[in-house]
């Protein structure tokens, strides 16, 4: 009977055990109106993003999408009254009215991608002034922290001929103001309705925790920029010492030193140009990169260019989901996940998701609805298995030594 109890105890010890130590949930601030909402993840939630799920107050899973470019299908829009020419100052301009597709309304996509067909002698750089007419009133400018630019620096030097702006009107006017060279002629243009996550303003602008200056061959100035922690970087905002003509610095992620199996160095494709020309009252500071998780960057400037200030642009990974007014939701982290049925991406409109204020996460708390991880007996024994093997080897060695000495065993 005693042996049976011991056997039962051992069998229970060999079974899987629930691990609830890492389970937490964080409340999501409720909304006063229903519709699409955006929930940015802070640094802690982003680090644990591999095991998150979204639920209501009863613990039922809620469908969501991860924010990304191309989340909703783009659509080319037809134009009415396209006027091309020059303004009173002789600068190229284009004015057009968007023909709204049937069943659509303004903002059925968050952005308009305006692709310009330009003819000019490179090199040239132009600031693009975008105005729109709201509700039949006068033309209004498009407020932005960083100006929009198009450029063509010649063969092999790169060109950009598209503008991405919020879709908040039907009637638009574009004027090109030259910053370098002669402004090109606008021959035609194409407008595409789209939702482009990388075109949103950053969630945070971070000053480097540490910046080390180096000099490379040929007078190249190189900076190693360290962030306080790993972040989802979408670009940099840097100011050059004047005078500095338009140029494109190089951004890369340096190789991990003194770490076996560390990541190799990787160059990041960069969009945009920077310059600082006070005599022309013209300056551009922003460079964009595809979202990249990293805790450090390497910045290389061409020979003769000098860095005055730099900040790193961070955009958190975000969840997008349909929220009901006043209803509480929770973000669950750690452990297993619950998956809501169906495909939320099959719904076409992203209407007003970016126009609304983003939701916020509350403080972490115990998660009674979390899905615990199951730890098997082999996983529990793995940490002390080497010690057990070493103890068994020592016992066998002692037994062999006793036999060799002829002692009693």
Interval 157-185: pLDDT, tens: 778 899 999 998 999 999 999 988 999 99
Bridge partner residues of 17 (DSSP): 375
Looking up tokens 């090199």, which residue turns up?
A: 123
Distance separating alpha carbons of residues 23 and 403, to the nearest angstrom: 54
The answer on pLDDT for 378 being more than 70 is no
- Cβ 202 vs Cβ 313: under 8 Å: yes
Q: How confident is the model at residue 279 (pLDDT cuts 50, 70, 90)?
A: confident
Give the pLDDT confidence of 115-130 residue by residue, as tens digits.
Answer: 999 999 999 999 999 9
Torsion of CA 313, 48, 262, 266, to 10 degrees: -30
Phi, psi of 128 (to 5 degrees): -100, 115
88 vs 157, residue with greater confidence: 88
> Mean per-residue pLDDT for 197-202?
78
Domains and CATH numbers, the chain: 15-67+318-374 (no CATH), 75-198 (2.60.120), 204-314 (2.60.120.260)
Q: How confident is the model at residue 346 (pLDDT cuts 50, 70, 90)?
A: confident
Q: What is the pTM of this model?
A: 0.71
Q: Which H or E run includes 46?
A: helix 43-47
Residue 377 pLDDT: 47
User: Which range, 7-11, 189-193, 208-212, 398-402, is most confident?
Assistant: 189-193
3-state SS, residue 127: strand
Q: Which H or E run includes 395?
A: helix 385-405
Distance separating alpha carbons of residues 235 and 246, to the nearest angstrom: 17
Phi, psi of 375 (to 5 degrees): -105, 120
Q: Around Cβ 389, how many Cβ atoms within 10 Å? A: 10
Burial of residue 238, with CB atoms counted within 10 A of its CB: 0-12 exposed, 13-18 middle, 19 or more buried: buried
Give the pLDDT confidence of 15-24 residue by residue, as tens digits.
Answer: 556 666 779 9
- What's the token pair of residue 4? 């049976």
> Mean per-residue pLDDT for 350-359?
71
- Cβ 329 vs Cβ 56: under 8 Å: yes
């Amino acid at each position: 009977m005693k042996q049976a109890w011991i056997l039962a105890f051992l069998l229970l010890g060999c079974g899987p055990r629930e691990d609830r130590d890492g389970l937490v949930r964080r409340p999501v601030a409720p909304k006063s109106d229903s519709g699409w909402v955006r929930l940015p993840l802070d640094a802690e939630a982003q680090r644990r993003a591999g095991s998150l799920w979204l639920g209501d107050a009863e613990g039922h899973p809620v469908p969501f999408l991860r924010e990304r470019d191309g989340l909703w299908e783009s659509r080319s829009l037809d134009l009415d009254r396209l006027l091309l020419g020059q303004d009173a100052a002789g600068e190229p301009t284009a004015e057009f009215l968007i023909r709204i597709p049937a069943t659509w309304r303004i903002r059925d996509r968050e952005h308009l991608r305006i692709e310009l067909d330009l003819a000019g002698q490179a090199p040239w750089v132009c600031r693009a002034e975008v105005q729109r007419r709201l509700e039949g009133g006068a033309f209004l400018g498009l407020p932005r922290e960083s100006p929009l630019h198009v450029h063509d620096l010649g063969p092999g030097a790169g060109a950009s001929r598209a503008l991405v702006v919020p879709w908040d009107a039907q009637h638009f006017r574009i004027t090109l103001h030259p910053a370098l060279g002669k402004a090109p002629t606008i021959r035609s243009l194409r407008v595409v309705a789209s939702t482009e996550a990388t075109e949103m303003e950053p969630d945070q602008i971070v000053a480097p925790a540490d910046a080390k200056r180096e000099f490379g061959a040929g007078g190249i100035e190189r900076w190693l920029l360290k962030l306080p922690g790993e972040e989802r970087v979408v670009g940099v905002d840097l100011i050059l010492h004047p005078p500095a003509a338009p140029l494109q610095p190089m951004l890369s992620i340096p190789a991990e030193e003194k770490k076996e199996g560390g990541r190799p160095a990787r160059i990041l494709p960069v969009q945009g140009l920077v310059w600082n020309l006070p005599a022309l009252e013209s300056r551009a500071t922003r460079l964009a990169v595809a979202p990249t998780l990293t805790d450090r960057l390497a910045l290389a400037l061409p020979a003769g260019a000098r860095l005055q200030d730099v900040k790193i642009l961070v955009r958190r990974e975000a969840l997008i989901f349909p929220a009901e007014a006043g209803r509480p939701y929770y973000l669950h982290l750690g452990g297993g996940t619950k998956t809501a049925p169906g495909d939320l991406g099959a719904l076409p409109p992203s209407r007003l998701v970016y126009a609304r204020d983003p939701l916020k996460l509350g403080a972490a708390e115990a998660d009674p609805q979390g899905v615990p991880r199951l730890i098997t007996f082999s996983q529990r024994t793995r940490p002390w298995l080497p010690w057990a093997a070493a103890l068994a080897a020592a016992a066998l060695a002692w037994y062999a030594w006793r036999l060799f000495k002829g002692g009693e065993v």
